[in-house]
Structure 1
Amino acid sequence: MSFLVDEEGQGAAEYILLFGGVIIISIVAILIYRSYFQRSALNSAQDIRDVRKNINDSDAAKNAGANNSTSPGPVPEPKPIEPPGKPIKPPVVPPVEPNPTI
């Protein structure tokens, strides 16, 4: 009856039971949620076609004026950047005259 007390291989058996439990739980979850995935209105192929069509339509609208023969006119000169607020002027200090009474 020494095999009842023997603990060799106990860790491996526990890992096998743990992985078996995880596999069983994942299979049950897939079976439960399979109906949700089958009934979804997700159609990725049609969604990708819609996105590509919208992108092409927006590019065509942006580039509609690019092929015209008239020029847009002169480019205005950029305005110089002014610092925010009023500029700080240094204080005016009157010159000091020597005192002749000393």
Structure 2
Amino acid sequence: MDNKGQASAEFILLFGGIVVVVLLAIHLYNNYMGDLSGEIASKEVKEFNNELNNLGKYFK
């Protein structure tokens, strides 16, 4: 019996599983950040930015 070979194969499978979970987490995080950027570009934020720019005229 080759116990070293079995341990190596199990380690490779474990490492592969961890890589799959990390890649899935990165994919979900990327989708979350994409959705968040859509919210940042919303109408309310643009209006707030315009009001700040208007206030900035008084401090120049």
> Taking structure 1 as the reference length, what is the TM-score of the superposition?
0.34
- Structure that is richer in helix per residue: 2
Q: State which structure, 1 or 2, has the greater radius of gyration over its C-alpha atoms.
A: 1
